[in-house]
Amino acid sequence: MFVNHCHAFPKGAFKKEEPEAGTIETLLSWMDELSIDKAVTFTPFPEQVKTTAREANQWLYEEIKGEERLVGFVTVNPLDADAIEILDQFAEKGFKGVKIHPPVLRMRINDERAEPFYARAEELGLPLLFHTGVHGWRLTHYMPILLDEVAQNHPNLKIIVEHMGGMEFFSQALAVVRNNKNCYAGITAIPVEESDFWGFPKDLLAYLFYRVDSKKIIYGTDYPWESFSNIKRSIEAVRSFSLPKEDEENILGRSLEVILPS
Amino acid 229: pLDDT: 93
Amino acid 198: pLDDT: 64
Amino acid 199: pLDDT: 67
Provide the CATH number for the domain formed by 2-259 in this structure.
3.20.20.140
Rg (CA), the chain: 17
User: To which H or E segment does residue 237 belong?
Assistant: helix 228-239
Q: Cα(15)–Cα(9) distance, rounded to whole angstroms?
A: 9
pTM of the model: 0.96
Q: Cα(255)–Cα(249) distance, rounded to whole angstroms?
A: 8
Q: Cα(205)–Cα(175) distance, rounded to whole angstroms?
A: 15
Amino acid 195: pLDDT: 54
Amino acid 201: pLDDT: 76
Question: Of 238, 240, 261, which is closest to residue 251 (Cα–Cα)?
Answer: 238
Q: Cα(4)–Cα(136) distance, rounded to whole angstroms?
A: 23
The partner residues of 218 in beta bridges, in order of sequence, read 186
Amino acid 46: pLDDT: 74
Q: Cα(124)–Cα(92) distance, rounded to whole angstroms?
A: 10
From first to last of the 262 residues of the chain, give the pLDDT tens digit.
Answer: 999 999 999 999 999 999 999 999 999 999 999 999 999 999 987 777 778 999 999 999 999 999 999 999 999 999 999 999 999 999 999 999 999 999 999 999 999 999 999 999 999 999 999 999 999 999 999 999 999 999 999 999 999 999 999 989 999 999 999 999 999 999 998 766 555 566 677 888 999 999 999 999 999 999 999 999 999 999 999 999 999 999 999 999 999 999 999 8
Amino acid 45: pLDDT: 79
